[in-house]
Structure 1
Amino acid sequence: MGGRWIERWEPEDETFWREQGERIAKRNLLFSVISEHIGFSIWTLWSVMVLFMGPEYGIDPAGKFFLIGTATFVGALIRIPYTFAVARFGGRNWTIVSAALLLLPTGFAYVVMEPGTSYGTFLLVAALTGVGGGNFASSMTNINAFFPLRKKGWALGLNAGGGNIGVPVVQLIGLLVIGTAGAAHPRIVLGVYIPLIVVAALCSALFMDNLAPVKNDTGAVLEAVRAKHTWIMAFLYIGTFGSFIGYSFAFGLVLQTQFGRTPLQAASLTFVGPLLGSLIRPVGGSLADRYGGARITLWTFVAMAAATGVVVYASVIESLTVFLVGFIGLFVLSGLGNGSTFKMIPAIFLAQGHRKGLSGEEAEAYGRRLSGASMGLIGAIGAVGGLGINLAFRQSFQTAGTGTSAFVAFLAFYAACIVVTWAVYLRRPAAVPDTAEGAATEPQRGYAEV
């Protein structure tokens, strides 16, 4: 698979960007979004499949939460090798492969999705859907290389937001099937996606490009692993993306379990939150470009804590209406935070380059190296937050019959995110070492603009 290779790529050169770079980058962004969109749909497939699994399947709510948690966990882990695959095989080439791999979990689910199938088989097929989660990491790493720093917030936000919309789309398709054919026909949902996967792979082959200058840099990976900012941003990304993907998997099941909604009633509500959260993600990136990602991220976490308080109150008084207001608010805010936190990553490492005494192209090259190397790890750890959310719900429903205690735990986590964001990126002077090994000997400027 030789593919189309671009040997010279200098997006920070304004003349190059204006004359040819922008057109090529936007074309690759478009088809990257299509592939990532379907990847997200397959990754979150079991958030829909569990709505079809009535009593005849013999699986209790705890078992269903574990199914969707398994898909979340595998999708998180696989993001790390997917990140390095772009430089190893080329962005276009790997997009073709990663799209084609989606046929594996979709085809197997089509075969086994019926009462009488063993729980272990369902667990295996749910694990296979994790390949859809990996698409995000490779797509974001690829698109990060195509765009100049001043456009990264917009481009990464649009790429991720377009991919995230795959979550509500598969849920809408599930709603359509349940509402028309009934809850006994989950294979129709799977049948819709098999040809779409083929189309995505073909479009990637026909319209995308590989960037020859993008190489795996072992030194950059090791430096990113040692850098405290990688781990700090991974922690914050658990709060934003981990929340989004965890709630996306769990929303319909929570409505069924805690509020007694039927599959059709749950499906008619499930897609709303992920849709709004996906649509607003590019807005989060754009606001971060304009006002600084740290500021937007801080106030997003403040608002998420408030929305979680509303959800806890609604759980206590057993009000579905108030619960929906708070929960959908969490989706919107997590989407906003997704855009702002991911914009922070390249800006932070550019600032780190300046703190090391670099300037101009040297600082920009350092920022690209470290941000590209850290994105896969940050994305993987952030996605593990989705597993934590589903395990918390599983435990909460097992012990108390409601999700209230899980939401209290989420509230405490958002409070920790608020403190970390302020202390590291907005407090002045910023007392953050350049790497895990050492600290700056003199006070350094803050990171409020990242």
Structure 2
Amino acid sequence: MRVSAQLESETQTTATLPASTTSLMMTKGRWVHNWDAENPEFWEGIGQRTAATNLRWSIFAEFLGFVVWQLFAIIAVYLPAAGFDYSTSQLFWLISMPSLIGATLRIPYTFMVARFGGRNWTIVSALLLLIPALGLAFAVSNTSTPFWLMLTLAGLAGFGGGNFASSMANITYFYPASQKGWALGLNAAGGNLGAAVAQLIVPVAITIFAAGSLQLPLAGFIWVPLIIVAVFGAWRSMHNLSTARSDVRGALNSLREPHLWIIATLYIGTFGSFIGFSAVFPKLIADTFPEFSAFALGTATVSLAFLGPLVGSLSRPYGGKLADRFGGARITLCSFAVMAAVTVALVLLLPTLNFWMFLGLFLVLFTTSGIGNGSTYRMIPAVFAINAIRAGDTSEARMNGARTSAAALGLISAFGAYGGFLVPQSLNLSITTSGSYVPAFSGFVLVYLALMALTYACYVRRSSIFAAQGV
């Protein structure tokens, strides 16, 4: 394409320029050609400041991506009261469809930064968020909106879910190896907070000036100015790196690696639980404790559903820290154990639980899933590095291991997001066939126990080479 030709031409032009560690060699379109984060002089001179600027705008854009990703899950609870004649099953499809599409989009989004540039793709991916945000605003303004159209718009909200993969890939290129973990953790946590903020702000926005009626279009309209700010900020302040390269070969190699599929399965259990329960938590509260689904705050109402994704987002970095100290596999194993125990309590006590016990158990579940997100993600580079050394302790083997690991990070984040579809649909099947959520939670217990066994067998048991290396 012309982008590639232009980049090649610009690279040839700048090749004759003197190397600089105190300034950026940029050409049209804010393409940087002398990026060298591993050079201490360059990093201290210009790199650190530039990387921080790109990180801030990347977090903001990804934050809005998570906001848009959650909009239909939040608004679905209010549709029946607003006059929409949708069945329970249809509401669950509106809740789960964004995760299905978002998880799928994460796969191509992983390669978009290297193809088009981090700045350019941040602009495009942020602009795409306007489609579901404005589409939702107009669709909910008319109660005769057909379900197929509403479901299509819910699928387009998956644009927000795809942003995570491209945002993480972009920030990876900006930071030296010694600081990638911190930068990626901050980027992920900042994005995940979008789910919590959306669940806090949207109920307030649609009720504060309602005067007895819901103002559902505001659920989409209020984010439009912020999306425009993100687009402008990315256009004005972010950079494209000519050194960023797609690694399709690394991605194909990682797909042939059994541990990619094992860790992806574990990540469905941790991140999939986080994003799945984040999406469905408002409806669970409304169905199980309708009197506590909203609290009056002046003329507005507030839902406590935002607390779940909030604690899950804030706990994620601690999962990485604990993994650094005790090993990611051990922390992941403990996370599944606690998640299983909490879910058992929900199964046994759900018929007699009061709301505050219900909320407390779910906050523990969210916190533990967040810790598991961080620890499981931390396992990926460690597992692939050990496998590379086993294949041959050479510089080439280590390089191939690093390439495969980098590709696996994006693919595993995509597979894990499918949990956001599986969790709501499991609850949908449970409530429509049995009239209760208990069968679904019983199934979750079995899943968490199975994931515990898988984690132990592959990475924790003493005879495992990964346990010996402290994975």
Change (3 A) 1:145 1:416: farther
Which of 252, 262, 278 is 2:313 aligned to?
278
- 1:92 counterpart = 2:122: no
**In 1, Cα distance between the equivalents of 2:266 and 2:466?**
21
SS in 1 for 2:76: helix
Q: Is the 8 A contact 2:30 2:239 kept in 1?
A: yes
Q: Is the 8 A contact 1:65 1:391 kept in 2?
A: yes
- 1:379 counterpart = 2:407: no
- Flag structure 2 segments of 5+ consecutive residues without an equivalent: 4-27, 296-300
Aligned equivalent of 2:441 = 407
Aligned equivalent of 1:22 = 48
- Higher relative CO (Cα under 8 Å, sequence separation at least 6) belongs to 1
Q: Is the 8 A contact 1:153 1:288 kept in 2?
A: no
SS in 2 for 1:428: coil
Aligned equivalent of 2:73 = 47
- 1:142 counterpart = 2:170: yes
Q: Deviations over 1:103-148 (max 9, x none)?
A: 1111111111131211111111111101000001111122223334
**In 1, Cα distance between the equivalents of 2:310 and 2:461?**
34
Aligned equivalent of 1:78 = 105
SS in 1 for 2:303: helix
Which of 380, 386, 401 is 1:351 aligned to?
386
The count of corresponding residues between Structure 1 and Structure 2 is 436
1:17 Cα offset (Å): 4.1
1:178 Cα offset (Å): 4.4
Q: Deviations over 1:337-368 (max 9, x none)?
A: 111212222232222222222456x5653343
**What residue identity is the alignment partner of 2:335?**
T
SS in 2 for 1:326: helix
Aligned equivalent of 1:167 = 195
**In 2, Cα distance between the equivalents of 1:112 and 1:312?**
37
Q: Deviations over 1:213-236 (max 9, x none)?
A: 221122211101101111111101
**In 1, Cα distance between the equivalents of 2:209 and 2:349?**
33
Aligned equivalent of 2:324 = 289
Q: Is the 8 A contact 1:295 1:448 kept in 2?
A: no
Aligned equivalent of 1:32 = 58
**In 2, Cα distance between the equivalents of 1:327 and 1:169?**
18
- 1:68 counterpart = 2:98: no
Q: Is the 8 A contact 2:292 2:355 kept in 1?
A: no
Map 1:280-429; keep pairs closer than 5 Å.
280-359=315-394, 362=396, 365-429=399-463
Which of 223, 227, 250 is 2:253 aligned to?
223
- 1:158 counterpart = 2:158: no
Q: Deviations over 1:146-192 (max 9, x none)?
A: 33444333222211110010001111112212442346101122121
Change (3 A) 1:178 1:105: closer
**In 2, Cα distance between the equivalents of 1:21 and 1:425?**
37
SS in 1 for 2:243: coil
**What residue identity is the alignment partner of 1:401?**
G
Aligned equivalent of 1:441 = none
Change (3 A) 1:6 1:366: farther
What TM-score results when the alignment is normalised by the length of structure 1?
0.91
**In 2, Cα distance between the equivalents of 1:445 and 1:385?**
26
Which of 137, 146, 149 is 1:118 aligned to?
146
Q: Alignment RMSD, CA only? A: 2.1
**In 1, Cα distance between the equivalents of 2:372 and 2:135?**
35
Q: Is the 8 A contact 1:51 1:263 kept in 2?
A: no
What TM-score results when the alignment is normalised by the length of structure 2?
0.87
Q: Deviations over 1:376-414 (max 9, x none)?
A: 321121111111101111011112222111111111111
**What residue identity is the alignment partner of 2:407?**
A
Aligned equivalent of 1:188 = 218
Larger radius of gyration: 2
**In 1, Cα distance between the equivalents of 2:452 and 2:176?**
29
Paired-residue identity, %: 43
Aligned equivalent of 1:209 = 239
**What residue identity is the alignment partner of 1:303?**
V
